[in-house]
C-alpha cells in the first residue's frame, strides 16, 4: 500500500472523527461527549479513534489547533484580497469549512476558538486600516473601532453558521460589506472631526 493511500485514508478518518465531534458539540457540552458516541457517529472502531487521539480532550485540542492554523492562513490570504472581495472570500471559506465553524460557534464550546479567531481578524483589520491611511501606529480610538468591526463580522458569521448557512454566502458577504463599510466611513468622519 502506498504512503499516499495511507495519508488519504488517515485524512478521511480524521475528518469523519472531527465531523462527528463537531456535530456532537453542537448538541451537548464537551465533558458530556463520549468516545463511544464519536465512534458510532464516525462509523469507526474504538482502536481507530485511539490510534489518532488520547481522549476527547486531546481531540478537542488538536481540532482547535488545526482550526486556528487554518484561520491564520485564511487571514494571511485575506491580507492580499481587495476590500470588495474580502467578505466573499471569508464567507466562501466558512462554507468550505462548515464543520470547523460549527464547532467554533457552538453554544456548548469554550468560546476559546471564537476569541482567537476574532483576535486574528482584529490584527488583520488593524493592519489594513493603518496601511490604508499610511499610519505607523494605532491609538485607543482606532483600537475600539477595530474591535467593534471584528466583533461585528464574527457575530454575523456566528449567526449564519448557527442558522446552518441557510442564506447564500453572497447575501451574507453583502450584508457584512455594507455594515462594515458604514462603520468605517462613520468612524473616519468622526476621527476627522475629533482628531
Do residues 120 and 75 lie in contact, with contact meaning Cβ atoms separated by under 8 Å?
yes
Q: What pTM was estimated for this model as a whole?
A: 0.79
What does pLDDT average to over the chain? 87
- Closest by alpha carbon to 60, among 106, 4, 117, 8? 106
| pLDDT greater than 90 at residue 157 | yes
Name the pLDDT band for 22 (thresholds 50, 70, 90).
confident
The 8-class DSSP code of residue 120 comes to H
Whole-angstrom distance, CA of residue 174 vs CA of residue 84: 9
Whole-angstrom distance, CA of residue 84 vs CA of residue 14: 35
Name the pLDDT band for 168 (thresholds 50, 70, 90).
very high
* 41 vs 100: which has the higher pLDDT: 41
Q: What is the pLDDT of residues 125-149, one digit of tens each?
A: 888 888 877 777 778 888 888 999 9
Class of domain 3-194: mainly alpha
How many Cβ atoms from other residues are within 10 Å of residue 23's Cβ?
Answer: 18
Name the pLDDT band for 195 (thresholds 50, 70, 90).
low
Q: How many CA atoms lie within 13 A of 165 on its CB side?
A: 15
Amino acid at each position: 500500500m502506498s504512503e499516499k493511500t495511507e495519508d488519504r485514508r488517515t485524512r478521511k478518518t480524521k475528518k469523519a472523527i472531527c465531523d462527528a465531534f463537531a456535530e456532537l458539540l453542537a448538541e451537548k457540552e464537551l465533558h458530556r461527549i463520549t468516545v463511544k458516541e464519536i465512534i458510532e457517529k464516525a462509523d469507526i472502531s474504538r482502536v481507530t479513534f485511539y490510534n489518532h487521539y488520547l481522549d476527547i480532550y486531546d481531540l478537542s485540542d488538536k481540532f482547535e489547533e488545526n482550526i486556528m492554523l487554518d484561520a491564520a492562513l485564511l487571514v494571511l490570504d485575506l491580507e492580499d484580497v481587495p476590500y470588495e472581495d474580502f467578505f466573499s472570500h471569508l464567507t466562501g471559506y466558512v462554507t468550505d469549512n462548515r464543520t470547523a465553524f460549527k464547532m467554533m460557534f457552538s453554544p456548548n464550546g469554550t468560546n476559546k476558538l471564537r476569541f482567537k479567531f476574532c483576535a486574528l481578524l482584529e490584527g488583520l483589520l488593524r493592519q489594513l486600516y493603518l496601511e490604508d491611511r499610511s499610519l505607523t501606529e494605532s491609538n485607543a480610538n482606532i483600537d475600539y473601532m477595530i474591535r467593534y468591526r471584528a466583533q461585528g463580522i464574527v457575530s454575523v458569521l456566528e449567526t449564519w453558521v448557527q442558522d446552518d448557512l441557510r442564506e447564500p454566502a453572497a447575501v451574507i458577504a453583502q450584508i457584512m460589506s455594507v455594515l462594515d463599510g458604514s462603520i468605517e466611513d462613520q468612524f473616519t468622519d468622526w476621527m476627522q472631526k475629533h482628531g
